[in-house]
Every structure is written in C-alpha cells, then in structure tokens.
Structure 1
Amino acid sequence: MCTENPNYHICNPKQIIRAALSHDFISLFCEKNSDGTRHLRLKGKDLFQRMGRRLKDHDMPEIVKYLKLTPTVTSIDFCYNEIGDSGLEILAKTFFNGENDLSYINFMHCDVTGRGLGYLNESEFFNLKEIRLNGNPLGPQSAGLIFNLLQKCSDLTYLDLAESQQTFESIAAICSFVERSRVKILDVSRVLPKDPMYINNSPALANDIGYLLDRNTSLLEIHLQKCDFIGHDMELLMYGLETNKHLIMLDVGCNNIGNYGLEVLAKWLKTKPPLRALNVSNNQIGEIGARALALVLPFTIIRLLDITNNHINDIGMNHLLFSLKKPDRIRLLYIWGNPFGEKTNLILDRLFKSGVLLQEHTDVKVYHVDGVAYQAYYPSNHYKHKYYCVMDHGCPVELKIKRNKVADEFSQPRALIDLKNYDRYPPVNLNLPKRYPCYDFCDSTCLDSK
C-alpha cells in the first residue's frame, strides 16, 4: 500500500507504474453486471495506490478509446481524480460527440468548474440518467448550465450538487429548473460557500425547497444535510411537504432543528404522508423531540429511521423503541451516538430476541458483562461509505473480474426499502419467480406466463 505522503512509501518504488494508461490496464477496473452491462471504476485513491498518481487530463484520450471499443460500459466512476476542465473537454468532444449508452457518470471531487460543465452542455449525444457533481467548485454561475443540462438529459433522475459553492440566488434558480424536470433524487447538501463574509440565510433555502416540493411531482428523495437549518426552518419546509404526495425519503441530517424542528415534522407525519425513510441524525434532538416522534410513528409507513448522534437519553429512546412494533415495522434503525444506558440496552436485547429488530439492520450490538448490559457499535449503516465512494478496505484489493448483481424491478420478494446508497430490503431471492404487472385492466399482479 502507498500513501500520498512522499516521505512514506511501503510499496516498492520499482513497482509503481507512472506511464500512460493502457487498454489492458483499464480493463482490470471494468466490472461486469448481471444484465450484460459494465461499470468502469477508476477511483482516484485506488489508482494512486496502484500506479503512484491519479488520473490527469492527458489520460482521457486513452479512456475514450477504451469506451469506444467497449460499448457495453454504461457507468463510469471518476471520483477523486484530477481530470479538471481540460479532461472534461476531451471527454465531451471525443466521446459525447457520437452515440453512446452511458447512463451514469461520477465526477465527485475532480476539480471541475463551470467551464467544464459548459463543455458537457455542448455535447450532441448526452443522455445521462444519473450525474454526480458534488465536491466541485462549480460556483453560482453554473445555475444556467445546470438548466441546459436538465433540458438535454430529459431522462435525468439523479442530480447530486452537494458542496458545489452555490449561493441562495443560484439555489433558487436550480430549484425552479428542477420543478419542471423528472429528477427523482436531488442532493443539495453543503451547497453554500464557506466565505466568512457571506451571510447564511437558511430560511431562504428552506423556503425555496418548500416551493420545489409543492410544485414537483417526480422527486422521491431529497438530501439537505449541513444546510444550517433550525427548528423554525422546518415550518417553511412544511409548505411543500404538506402538499407533496410522492416523497419517500427526507434527509435533514447534520443540521440544528432540535426538539422543536422534530415536533414540526411529527405534526406532518400525523397526516400519513408516503414517507418511508427519515434521517434526522446530528440535530441536537433530545427527549422531548423523541417523545413527539414516538407518538406518531405507529401511524406512519416509515421503515428507515436514522437518529444517530443526538441527545436522546434512556427515557426518550424507550418511547421510540416501544413504538416500533407497528403494522409497517421499522426495518432499518440507526441510533448509535445517543447517551442511553442499560435500560435501553435491555429493551434492545428483547427486541432482537423477539425478531422485531434484526441485528444486521441496526447499528447497536448489546453484550453482557457480569449481568450488566452494554452497547457496542455494529457497522451496519454503510450510507456514507457508499455515498463518498470509499474504498472497502482503505487499500487496493486483488484485481479480479467482479460481477455485480443488478436487481430487476420485478424481482421478488417485493422491495420494502429501495433507496440510493442503502441496501435493498429484503434482498432479492433468485429462487422466487419474477412477478410482472397484470395488463388485463386490473390492479393485481400475475406471474409471467412465459
């Protein structure tokens, strides 16, 4: 393994390949999918530890050549590289100038600015369904380019603009563009610039998101982490949440909504919205907020709840745990980082033994020492691990042909939780036959006659 510190190298320097990429070398990072497509994984950290550097703009011609010779590649991961605007220009003018089937591309932390985004807009055949631009200094001037991008990619369903140095004006413009699009997953976390002279006006952001939720009918997931929301901002967000009938995941983690903000959300949950996942982690929530959520939780269809790293004690946590056994049970529960003790541990132990909770879907493991119940962290929540495209073990693993199983929408058993960067629950059982919708003018389902 190599590190990026030039004074510290474990691997043999003679084994570090600093030459240009080759077709065979790129093929080693191409994964096969069960549906016949391929995924090209070129993560910057992985490449650095293998060849001593990250991707540069001069590597793009060889990558484009490989993509043209391998038309089955439908998704590319360029995260944490240094391709910049010049590399994006080469990709746009030499690859996107012809017909292609690329549906997913990840430019996370690739030093892309608004100029590079403009090159993509000039492409003739640009039909992406998912694009990630988080961690790039796009700037507020990129709002118009994002509008052109949404017009070119009419089937775009996943747009990630987190940490892209926007302003409130550009966010308002982007929200107005998304209103008329088919985007299903929108991430605008940490979009505000970190300039100390810029005044943070979180109510304006909450108001814009509220209007977006009120007018858009395609959004299924929205991620609003680290936007400095407080409890009163949730009231502005309610303008859109109360009228929206399609949202299934709300992520307001890493804000400061507190007890009052969760009480506002609890009043909304009384109306039985179609929400299936709620993330309120790192929000200064205490016993009062937990009790307000526990009172309405049995009447919701929430199956994923993340309340990690708050201030919920034994009393508040007990209220929540006693409300889990409901018609639509909580399947994924994350509570680590709260100051609860032995009373909560005993209740968790009983829930695990009764089958109300499953250990592999909860981030707390209960163990006993001298008759006393303690808790330990159980690594079951991989959301951040997958979102930030972190390497599985922190070091390069053996290169071999990897085959990814792509679940079909008609696979059985029926997906109760099927969200981006979360594991599907329950997992697909290949022994069960697929169930297709019945087209004989009825609402039931029938087995495929074939």
Structure 2
Amino acid sequence: MSTSETASLPPSYPHLLTRERLPDGVTLFTLEARPATLSVGDQETRVLTYNGTLPGPLLLLEEGERVRIVLRNALPDATNLHLHGLPIPPAVDDPHRVVAPGAETSYEFTVPEGSAGTYWYHPHLHGSVTRQLFEGLSGPLLVRGPLERSGPLAAAWEHVLVLSDLSIDNGRVADHTEMDWGRGKEGSLLLVNGQVRPTLTVRTGLVRLRLINASTARYHQLALPGRALHVIGQDGAFLEAPVAMESLLLVPGERADVLVTAEEAGTLQLLSLPYARTPAGPSPREPVALLTLQVEGAPTRADLPTTLRPVERLDERSAVATRTLTFTGAMNPIRFMVNGRTYEHHRTDLTVKADTLEVWELRNPSPMDHPFHLHVFPFQVLTRDGVPAPFPAWRDVINLRAGETVRIAVPFREHTGDVMLHCHIVEHEDRGMMANVRVTRD
C-alpha cells in the first residue's frame, strides 16, 4: 500500500472490544472485570482480566463520538475504572467511585475534538490499585482522528503494544514483599500483549507502534537497534513533527506513538535497556528482547510525515500562581508523601481556579525516580533542572529523576471538579504519594 492511498488501516491488537450503536446514537462498550486462568509464559496462572483477556480488549474511539462504557464487576473485591489521560469531566472519570462485587456502573462522555492519541484504562480504587493492576487489570484505548484518515499515517501498519510484567508463584500471581512496596514490584516475566518475547509479523513500509507501559513500577528504556524511533506522539497527543530518538524512556503509565521505517524484509528486535531508577542499580541488568518484528514483503518506500498537528505554546508569564510539589518517602513504616503529607481521601490538597494557568515546580529530593501523573488536565514541561524542554508537547505522565526539579505549565480549562495527582509507581500511590486537586469557578 502506498502512502498516497487514503483507506485507513485498522490497528493490530489481539482483542478488539465489540462496539454497539444504540438507538440514541451512543456507542456502547461493555467491560467485565473477572478472574481467569490463562497461559502466561507457558504457565497456567490465575490472573485478573477484562473480558477474559490479558491485557484487556482494545477500545477504539473516534473524536466527537458519544460513548458509554459499562463496567461490570465479577471480582471478589470492589474495583472501578480510570480512563487514563482522557480530558473528560472529573465527575465521569471519578477515581473515588466504588463498584462493589456483582455491581456495575457506566461512564458516559463525548470524546473531545483534538484528543486523538494513545490512552489506556485500569482500576483506580485507592489501596487496591497495585494488586489489581499487577494481577492483570489494564487495557488499551485509542482515539482516532483526521490524521489517521489520510496521508502517511493512514497507510502505516499500526500495532498496539501493551508492556507489563508479572511474577508467578504456584499458579497464581506472586505476592508483594515489604521491599516491593518500597521500591515498586518488578515482575520476572516481561510481557508484550500478555506474551513473553512474541514475534510480530509486519509488512514492509511505515510501521506505527503504539506503546503503553502498563506496569506497576517497571521502567522501559526502549531501543530498536538499526532503526531510529520516530516519535510522533507522547501520552494522549501528537507532536508537531516526528522526533527521531535512538532510545526512548517509557515510565509506568506513559505512552508513546512511534514510527519505524521498514523498507526491506528482515528482523528487528525491540529491546528494554538497563535503566537505574533506584539506588539498587539498573533493571534489567542486561538488554532484554521484548519483541521480534519480522518484516516481510517486497522493498517499499516508507515516507515519514513532515508535520502532524500544531502544539500551542503556553506562556508562563500569564500564570496566576506558582506552586511547589515535593515528592518524598519514609521507611518503618513504608509511606510516601506529597509536600510532607500522605494521601487522605476527603482532604483537598490544592484548590485552583478554572480557566487559569498555573506553574508547578515538581521536586524529587529522594534517591529514586518517581513518575508524575495528573488526571484530566494535560500539561507542558517548561524546564528540567533549568534546561528548557527540547520541543513542545502535551503530557499527562512525566518522569521525575532522583534529585531532579521539573517545572510544568498546567492550564485548567473546560472542566471543574476533583482530580488527582500522584506517582504512577502505583505501590507508592497506594502508600500515600497522591494528592487531591479541586478545580472551581468560585
């Protein structure tokens, strides 16, 4: 297929969630959280799933579409659903919602125009997030828009890759140790779409990889030896133009949309390179092959797009407030804090005004990295340790390296209500590194 053709290729992923169009024009998706026994790394293992698959099925949405997602809870414990990164009303994506065993709830919203990007879904019930996510509850969510309908992206061979990890003990997911709660648990099995070192057959041409780090704590320093990773999107938004990288750090909760030129048949390997996120040293110790790309077909020219979508530049001089958020931890007992306080459900930690811009200075004086995530409201990185960001980008997860200070600009537009900020090493989130933000017009 040449890049001049306009028929958009569907994304490749093992499981696509069936959509139902209701008489009122709403598109209905139904998810059921339930245990299942699946083969993982050649071992029969009891895991948690959405609709019986690991990871959960792909939700494929379109800009402007009215959507209703029904969540049914067939687990023995309460759960809920976080539509990670979607800029939708806080009352819809409510992390305080509790779905009891045997109950169901629905999440209804209009997919915002301009939100085309890579997202994912997972539980967010405080105190239960870590185990439910580590045992398998996550799935990909894509929003498609005009760029997918014509030009180079329409002709790209698109693949969704959910990265996770797991440890198995006698046919069940291994428990967390006390050290795991402090460092964040890294499983011994590195999974891509629920499989260990799978082979993905792709056609020659332009290959698009939608990468989602659904791990509780594992970082991935990704590389494809012999090929540049042309990043076209980070988290839920396009960049202005592709940015070529030799390697790409993907932290828990973060997503990246990359293009790879594969003009001739051959074999490529997606590697996870050693990265030291804690004082214990790099993980993995040596490069690990996550996935083999088997490229087949006749030689084909792969044309990269030259432009994508404009990215607004935020002017920090118009900010109405500057705040400092400091992320620290303590031992005996293990707990993690934002501005010296562990999380409390009913406490409002920050109150901000709607339709204003704020600058937040994120400080990490601790000896380990922390990935920062803000619900609903995308932001832009201004500086890292005083160095300006290399290009403008809308983000919802960024890494805070040990000892680093990152300044971000956060516009609180459109929505009001209560949202959260937290570390996306979810062990740290469950042990208190989270805060409530109230956005109000009062």
- TM-score normalized by structure 2? 0.23
Which structure shows the higher strand fraction? Answer: 2
Between Structure 1 and Structure 2, the one with more helix by share is 1
TM-score, reference length from structure 1: 0.23
The structure having more radius of gyration, on CA atoms, is: 1
